[in-house]
A and B are shown apart, each in its own frame.
Chain A
Amino acid sequence: MREIVRAAIAEDAPLLVEGTGSKRGLGKPETGLANARRLSLAECRGVTLYEPEELVLSARAGTPIAEIEALLAAHRQRLEFEPMDLGPLHGLASGLGTIGGVLACNLAGPRRIARGSARDHVLGLTAVSGRGEVFRAGGRVVKNVTGYDLSKGLAGSFGTLAVMTSVTMKVMPDVETEATLVLRGLADDAAAGAMAAAMGSSAEVSGAAHLPYAVAGRVAEGALGREAATLIRIEGVEPSVEARAAHLSAGLSRVGRLERLEGEASRALWRDVRDVRPFADGTDKPVWRISVAPTRGHELVMSLRMAAAIDAFYDWQGGLVWLRMEAGEPEADLVRQAVRRHGGGHATLMRASEAARTSAPVFEPQPDALARLSKRLKDQFDPAGILNPGRMG
């Protein structure tokens, strides 16, 4: 890998770094790069260390997430951050993503609100920087403050600082059982209140999502019907799940009608929320992923509904808004102004046509001082600008 990067530097040939290419539709399109070559890590795969009792797993960067999750499941463990699968949203098959890709995009799922994102679970990694030098960061233990946390520094860097070749992750025990309480028929603002109350209770809720009536029918093969559904997930050992479900139900049943899903029905629901199934429609209508303070999500959506034709649902207690632009235009300025008006956060164009991603900034534009600092970091790690140039634009 080091020799490939060095050759690219010598020949001034940008590298388009990817795993299996399943996330090519995310980020600035790579068109118009003279001399560019693709650097796939798909063959750089395999779990190199897995010690269940130590809660640690190391794998080469191109190892499919599906392979890792299957291995963990066999030992009743899991990746706690519940990595989402972008494939369905981009019209691709499920299960193509790699561990390196998940970390490079810092992807997580519904459990992020309670347990953190990919960056919270990476313990260490090996990478080749844009200087053609191999370096190691972090280690294999949970508690480690030796030097800067470069592993976090590379999380979410979209392969623009270094090519990760292997990563070490913290893994956690899988749960014995799970249940989802479903509140029916709530308006978005009432749902936000219910989710805040659930998350703020001692019931250790591990997922809080709200599907407005127009969206509810598009998960779990229509199991929820066309009625707004507010989902509260509880996981753990059986007696604990029972006790917490009872405790939560007592409060939530005062807010609306309550249903309950168990086991696979619950899991299927959260998989679809995680993978944005309601918008996995085979089109390239723009889809935004917006992160704001949880209590502000529904206000933001309300204001956008007045200005554009949108379809939306919520995860992360309402703080993660998935937004589909029905007219086909991303309306980046409109969306980002609304984010700023509602307490700030960021909006990422997770899906759009190449043309739309070329004309609109895919990632939230940064204030000047922050942009300059980020640029200096990029220059330190990839001074020749050969790793995924422009991808994070």
Chain B
Amino acid sequence: MSVRMPAPNGTILARRREIVEALRRIVPGEGVVAEATELKPFETDGLTAYRQVPLAAVLPETTAEVAAILSYCHANEIPVVPRGSGTSLSGGALPLADGVLLVLSRFNRILEIDFDNRCAVVQPGVTNLGITKAVEHRGFYYAPDPSSQIACSIGGNVAENSGGVHCLKYGLTANNVLGIEFVTIEGEVIRLGGKHLDAEGYDLLGLMTGSEGLLGVVTEVTVRILQKPETARALLLGFPTSEQAGACVAAIIGQGIIPGGMEMMDRPAIHAAEAFVHAGYPLDVEALLIVELDGPQAEVDHLLAVVEGIATAEGAVTAKVSQSEDERARFWAGRKAAFPAVGRISPDYLCMDGTIPRKELPRVLAGMRALSEKHGLAVANVFHAGDGNLHPLILYDASRDDELSRAEAFGNDILRLCVEVGGVLTGEHGVGVEKRDLMPEMFSEDDLRHQQRVKCAFDDKHLLNPGKMFPVLHRCAELGRMHVHRGQVPFPDLPRF
């Protein structure tokens, strides 16, 4: 828990009773949670190493209520932390002691399904999988599939620009959202896009998507739905080295093939997964690739043969093609269970989330082995090989005194390595609290200032989700000054936490 949150504002803490009463006037009944025991379940999200009970939690049901809550908090300068299902892996929904937790779980209705225009209009608390469930009777689905899709909300997906295993072919959330309604911290309701494409003016939809709850609170989402591919088949490929597996990935893409999914696991991950779910993975290989081809039957059959040929040429020692839906599911079972499987062999693990240019994989894996020795902790790797998104799982035991801090230091070193080879700090989990202090590894002071200027346009008092994403909170007035002289000392009095 090395990342510090902003110090709570004592004045707000002292006004707690009055704030709760004001919220109750806006959301009657059980929509305001203020008892310590009832607030406990809200104290953390998917990044469980960080915990904080919020000042109060409020669960509105209408956009008007959200607007009234935000307007009240803005007028009274009370921080607000939005929360969907609370599955963020980066602490995006970590509450603040002096902040209202705005929980969108009651926004759980599907408002409209429009098959002819291939879209669905839903409230933000609807789960990712809930959208697919609502449209699959006509053969449709919603493409982005983060691993938490049973639980995570579409509003949270918009906030985090969530990915999944099919991003190379089908894009991230940003590429699958057509429109949103959101409420600004001042309580104004704004609609962007809709069933039509490419709303004009500045691409505020693009800025809102992935803004981690720092710019506004989403109250409605219009998503693209797609017809499910006619068929999908998977290949299980084992390689003696990760270099060969990497070369196989490059060769597949070099041949002009974009698989629906392409996943890689290293030896520790393979062994953990196999021991857990008995997926039939080969245990004598250093790297395992799962390549899934989806689309029309004729295309899948054709490409399977091509991919198998490439794999053999690149030195695959195992090559199995799924012959049934059951077998395809079994190939995936180990990959999908990789996290809990690692959880079985280690009391705790830390899941990292960098993205690298694919060709740098061997270098990064070698670097990781060296770091593993340096920090004295083991690591298992699962990798969205198609889009370069790496998930190293660092194994540690929180009950041993310094292992968590060592794991965190190891994780930070891995992310620095990702940036060093031309990659980024986070591919799909978000910056949140977890990677906040690493932002300067990737961005210069001026890069970050321009990002914060977006924040200032939306929320100049820094009331929405403060303490996330940015390591230094520049006051908007300070950012407003023209930066003309080089070498100017950048505001030494600013709060750094």
Contacts and interface: CB of A to CB of B under 8 A. Distances in A.
Interface of A: 6, 9, 51-56, 76-77, 106, 108, 112-113, 116-117, 119-120, 129, 131-137, 139-150, 152-153, 155-157, 161, 172-176, 196, 199-204, 236-237, 239-240, 242-244, 247, 291-295, 316, 319-320, 343-346, 348, 363-364, 366-367, 369-370, 373-374, 376-381, 383, 392
B329 interface: no
Given A54-B357, A141-B355, A369-B188, A319 B116 contact: no
Contacts of B389: 143
A49 to B, nearest CB: 10
- Which of A134, A292, A380 counts the most chain B CB atoms within 10 A? A380
Of B188, B295, B296, B454, most A-chain CB atoms within 10 Å = B296
A141 B450 contact: no
A108 to B, nearest CB: 7
A173 B196 contact: no
B356 to A, nearest CB: 7
Contacts of B359: 51, 53-54
Contacts of B484: 6, 132
Given A152-B207, A196-B116, A202-B230, A76 B302 contact: no
Contacts of B241: none
A147 B443 contact: yes
B209 interface: yes
Nearest to A294: B117
Given A142-B168, A149-B207, A200 B196 contact: no
Contacts of B298: 239-240, 242-244
Contacts of A56: 357
**Residue of B116, B139, B160, B257 ringed by the most chain A CB atoms within 10 A:** B116
Contacts of A134: 446
A28 B327 CA distance: 59
Given A141-B355, A240-B298, A380-B453, A153 B203 contact: yes
B447 A156 contact: no
B350 to A, nearest CB: 18
Nearest to A127: B450
B317 to A, nearest CB: 23
Given A76-B256, A106-B203, A141 B457 contact: no
Contact of B195 (A9, A157, A293, A367): A293
Given A54-B357, A144-B424, A149-B161, A369 B206 contact: no
A135 B447 CA distance: 5
B204 interface: yes
Interface string B373-391: 0000000000010011100
A144 B257 contact: no
A379 B480 CA distance: 9
B202 interface: yes
B357 A51 contact: yes
Contact of B118 (A147, A155, A199, A236): A199
Given A344-B194, A377-B454, A380-B456, A144 B171 contact: no
Interface string B201-219: 1111011011100010000
B256 A174 contact: yes
A146 to B, nearest CB: 5
Interface residues of B, number: 101
A150 B451 contact: yes
A341 to B, nearest CB: 14
Contact of A117 (B198, B357, B429): B198
| CB-CB nearest 4 A-B residue pairs | A152-B206, A240-B299, A173-B256, A293-B195
Contacts of B118: 199-200
B428 interface: yes
A145 B203 contact: no
A176 B302 CA distance: 13
B483 A291 contact: no
B163 interface: yes
Nearest to B256: A173
Question: Which of A135, A142, A161, A292 has most B Cβ within 10 Å?
Answer: A142
A97 B386 CA distance: 31
B357 A161 contact: no
Contacts of A6: 484
A143 B198 contact: no
B194 A146 contact: no
B161 to A, nearest CB: 5
B197 interface: yes
Contacts of B256: 76-77, 173-176
B197 A316 contact: yes
B384 A145 contact: no
A53 B358 contact: yes
Nearest to B187: A369
B34 interface: no
Contacts of B250: 53
B425 A243 contact: no
A155 B198 CA distance: 10
A243 B297 contact: yes
B196 A345 contact: yes
B227 interface: yes
B482 A9 contact: yes
Contacts of A243: 296-299
Nearest to B301: A239
B372 interface: no
A150 to B, nearest CB: 6
Contacts of B253: 53, 55, 173
A112 B355 contact: no
Given A132-B482, A153-B207, A240 B295 contact: yes
Contacts of B454: 148, 150, 153, 377, 380
B399 interface: no
B206 A155 contact: yes
A373 B458 contact: yes
A199 B191 CA distance: 26
16 contacts: A53-B358, A131-B483, A139-B423, A143-B427, A144-B355, A150-B450, A153-B202, A153-B206, A173-B257, A319-B196, A343-B194, A344-B196, A364-B201, A377-B457, A378-B202, A380-B457
